[in-house]
Structure 1
């Protein structure tokens, strides 16, 4: 026996909801914040650190582009996996998310320490680009009075 479409489904132009319960809501619901993924947190941390350094070094970092990639295209000649690449001629820094996240040896695995590892990689990459020591980039940030 052939099934016929219900009148309710046909009145909406062929659109069907699940068992007549209405349109599905977001996974997090209307009262919860959207989900935060590791990729989003990584991008947010890189952009915050880059913005902080641009405020401190506006002339040196005015035209620098910060990019995030999953992994480097090739393994370095030493056999180590690079955490970042600096292209001085192109004024570009590429940070590699997976090596930074997975190869970090954290003594405490929480959001603060993961963020500190990401920020330290941004600082070291910028220091390599402009020819300074990473501790010279923001000396007041590490002074505790």
Structure 2
């Protein structure tokens, strides 16, 4: 007697089915992925808070700056008002920012903080003067 070929059945007696959808995308696990998602979320939030001033501003990501804009060390962002773009530099933000805890939450907060600081500089405001809550004192 020959063994019967194994059939793949689940607990309901059905054979294995192919996925209706394509395979899932790889998880966002790397530092560059976390940085990209953090900056993107902060940029969308700022565009919503300042639609007239930042609605058509492009937030870009780059690894390192090609030149020093501020002259006080390695820039974490650069601003081009004529081209209406803000470029955030991943490596300086991730490597040179002092974190009291080096975990995903604090790395995300550092990326968001630099995004807010760059947007404030673009708008000519102090980062603390950004009125993001839309609070009405009355």
Same fold (TM over 0.5): yes
Aligned equivalents of 1:99 and 1:72: distance in 2? 9
> What 5-or-longer segments of structure 2 have no aligned partner?
1-22
Q: Structure 1 or 2: larger helix share?
A: 1
Q: CA deviation at 1:74?
A: 2.4
Look up the match of 1:23: none
Q: CA deviation at 1:136?
A: 2.2
Aligned equivalents of 2:69 and 2:53: distance in 1? 27
**Would the alpha carbon gap of residues 55 and 82 (structure 1) be closer, same or farther in structure 2, given more than 3 Å must change?**
same
Look up the match of 1:140: 133
Look up the match of 2:10: none
Q: Are 1:97 and 2:82 an aligned pair?
A: no
Residues 88-129 of structure 1 show CA distances to partners (whole Å, capped at 9, x for unaligned) of 111100000000000011111111111111111000100111
Look up the match of 1:39: 32
Aligned equivalents of 1:50 and 1:132: distance in 2? 16
Asked whether the 8 Å contact 1:69–1:97 carries over to 2, the reply is yes
> What 5-or-longer segments of structure 1 have no aligned partner?
1-29
- Let me know the Cα RMSD of the aligned residues: 2.3
TM-score by length of 2: 0.73
Relative to structure 2, which stretch is displaced further, 92-101 or 126-135?
Answer: 126-135
* Partner of residue 66 from structure 2, selected from 73, 77, 82: 73
Look up the match of 1:54: 47
Asked whether the 8 Å contact 1:64–1:91 carries over to 2, the reply is yes
TM-score by length of 1: 0.69
Asked whether the 8 Å contact 2:93–2:110 carries over to 1, the reply is yes
How many pairs align? 112
Asked whether the 8 Å contact 2:62–2:87 carries over to 1, the reply is yes
**Would the alpha carbon gap of residues 115 and 90 (structure 1) be closer, same or farther in structure 2, given more than 3 Å must change?**
same
